């Protein structure tokens, strides 16, 4: 039976925190008690370091929740926010501990306001050490997550290129497009045929040259979609109706390139192509706090096999591909949902609202 060694920092985060937190304050108590013995303190003196450790255990829990709540702030703002809580934590530790200390030391009671202020800083180094250790571990875990996510995203990039050929440049799409071009040539509609060939060439070039990991602005994403939609509009003519509703603030938002193309293709395939009268394709984008919300909506027959807001197994390869890509790139900060409307289907994507490349100045 094989035994696999587990690195301490690979434990679940909640377990890791409580192990380190408890061990740290237990170690502080042990070190303080041994130091007191070395200085000849009486046997009952253990209550002083014990009180300090217990108080520190509690007050630093409060600091933990505050640090978690303020984690999204810049380092400077985080530092300014934490100054007062750190000073207050030191003061509370001193207040409770000194209550026990005066039992063994008559001269340890503060006799003036300045003495209270000076004594309140007694445990500042302990609190700062705890905060430094907490931040160090948290930054390490965050860096570890980002590294693992980057590695997974790079691996997926190669898969995405292959899958892109599968759901963007599939034989069905190419066959219909080339067949439409052939029909136009036979009808001597050379201008339209030439326009369709140029559109197909531009879209193929963009799809093949595009880096799946590259983030582009929403404006660039919609420009790329236009290359695809121009071809489909020639194929379907008046049967394909397109609407867009983009909030002004969203044009500069960043998203993975060609993220929306499989959603649009899916809507055309199942909503427009299957209806004699064609259908409506609507693309929406809005900002919801710190999230970019994208929607692709059609007025087709819908999907009776939807399970909640997810597709059943084996359905919607392009949609599942998009959801997988979002999950690898953004993790729990993103979401993907599909739902039936009164008429048609709505696909909604949520991802962090970003306006500059990660790692930029």
Q: What is the pLDDT of residues 290-316, one digit of tens each?
A: 999 999 999 988 887 776 656 655 556
Q: Where are the alpha helices (DSSP H) in the chain?
A: 13-38, 47-69, 75-101, 113-120, 124-167, 171-186, 190-209, 218-236, 261-267, 317-330
Task: Look at residue 167 and tell me whether its pLDDT is greater than 70.
Answer: no
- The pLDDT value recorded for residue 246 is 96
Strand partners, 300: none
Mean pLDDT of 16-24: 87
- The pLDDT value recorded for residue 334 is 93
Task: Look at residue 124 and tell me whether its pLDDT is greater than 80.
Answer: yes
Q: Compute the C-alpha angle 322/326/329, nearest 5°.
A: 135
Q: Which backbone phi and psi does 25 adopt, to 5 degrees?
A: -75, -30
Angle formed by the axes of helices 124-167 and 75-101, nearest 10°: 140
Q: What is the pLDDT of residues 213-246, one digit of tens each?
A: 678 899 989 988 888 888 888 888 889 999 999 9
Q: What rounded mean pLDDT belongs to the chain?
A: 82
CB 242 within 8 A of CB 274: no
Rounded Cα gap, residues 176 and 301, in angstroms: 22
**DSSP string over 84-126:** HHHHHHHHHHHHHHHHHHTTT-GGGS--SHHHHHHHHTTTHHH
Q: Give the DSSP H or E segment for 280.
A: strand 279-288
SS3 call for 186: helix
Most confidently modeled range among 78-82, 154-158, 300-304: 78-82
Beta-carbon-side half-sphere exposure of residue 41 (alpha carbons within 13 Å): 19
Q: What percent of the chain has pLDDT above 90?
A: 25
**The dihedral formed by the CA atoms of 19, 21, 26 and 27, expressed in degrees to the nearest 10:** 90
CB 196 within 8 A of CB 231: yes
Q: Which backbone phi and psi does 24 adopt, to 5 degrees?
A: -65, -45
CB 305 within 8 A of CB 332: no
Instruction: Single out the residue of 292, 303, 238, 237 nearest to residue 266, CA to CA.
Output: 303
Report field, pTM of the whole predicted structure over 0.85 = no
Rounded Cα gap, residues 313 and 118, in angstroms: 66
Rounded Cα gap, residues 252 and 354, in angstroms: 8
Task: Look at residue 144 and tell me whether its pLDDT is greater than 60.
Answer: yes
Mean pLDDT of 12-17: 72
Instruction: Single out the residue of 280, 293, 285, 276 nearest to residue 334, CA to CA.
Output: 293
- Higher confidence at residue 156 or residue 205? 205
Task: Look at residue 8 and tell me whether its pLDDT is greater than 90.
Answer: no
Q: Can you list the domains of the chain with their CATH numbers?
A: 13-164 (no CATH), 171-304+315-354 (3.30.565.10)
Chain length of the chain: 361
Q: Compute the C-alpha angle 262/267/272, nearest 5°.
A: 140
Q: What is the pLDDT of residues 304-350, one digit of tens each?
A: 777 665 665 555 667 877 888 788 788 889 999 999 988 899 999 99
């Amino acid at each position: 039976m094989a035994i696999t060694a587990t690195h301490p920092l690979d434990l679940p985060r909640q377990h890791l925190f409580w192990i380190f937190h408890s061990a740290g304050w237990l170690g502080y108590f042990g070190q303080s008690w041994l130091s007191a013995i070395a200085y000849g303190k009486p046997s009952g003196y253990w209550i002083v370091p014990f009180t300090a450790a217990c108080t520190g255990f509690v007050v630093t829990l409060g600091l933990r929740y505050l640090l978690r709540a303020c984690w999204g702030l810049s380092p400077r703002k985080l530092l300014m926010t934490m100054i007062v809580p750190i000073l207050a934590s030191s003061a509370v530790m001193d207040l409770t501990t000194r209550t026990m200390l005066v039992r063994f030391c008559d001269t340890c009671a503060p006799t003036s306001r300045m003495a209270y202020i000076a004594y309140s800083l007694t445990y500042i180094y302990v609190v700062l050490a705890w905060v430094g250790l907490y931040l160090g571990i948290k930054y390490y875990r965050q860096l570890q997550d980002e590294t693992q996510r980057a590695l997974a995203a790079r691996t997926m990039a190669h898969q995405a290129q292959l899958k892109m050929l599968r759901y963007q440049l599939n034989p069905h799409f190419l066959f219909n497009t080339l067949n439409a071009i052939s029909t136009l040539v036979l009808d001597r509609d050379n201008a339209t045929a030439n326009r369709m060939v140029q559109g197909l060439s531009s879209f193929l070039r963009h799809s093949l040259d595009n880096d799946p990991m590259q983030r582009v602005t929403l404006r660039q994403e919609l420009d790329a979609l236009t290359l695809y939609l121009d071809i489909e509009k020639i194929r379907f003519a008046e049967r394909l109706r397109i609407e867009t509703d983009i909030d002004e603030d969203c044009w500069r938002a960043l998203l993975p390139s060609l993220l929306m193309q499989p959603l649009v293709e899916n809507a055309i395939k199942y909503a427009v192509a299957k209806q004699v009268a064609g259908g409506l394709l609507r693309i929406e984008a809005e900002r919801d706090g710190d999230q970019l919300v994208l929607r692709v909506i059609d007025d087709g027959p819908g999907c009776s096999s939807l399970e909640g807001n997810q597709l059943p197994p084996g359905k919607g390869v392009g949609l599942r591909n998009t959801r997988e890509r979002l999950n690898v790139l953004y993790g729990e900060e993103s979401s993907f949902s599909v739902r039936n409307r009164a008429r048609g289907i709505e696909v909604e994507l949520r991802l962090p609202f970003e306006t500059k490349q990660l790692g930029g100045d």
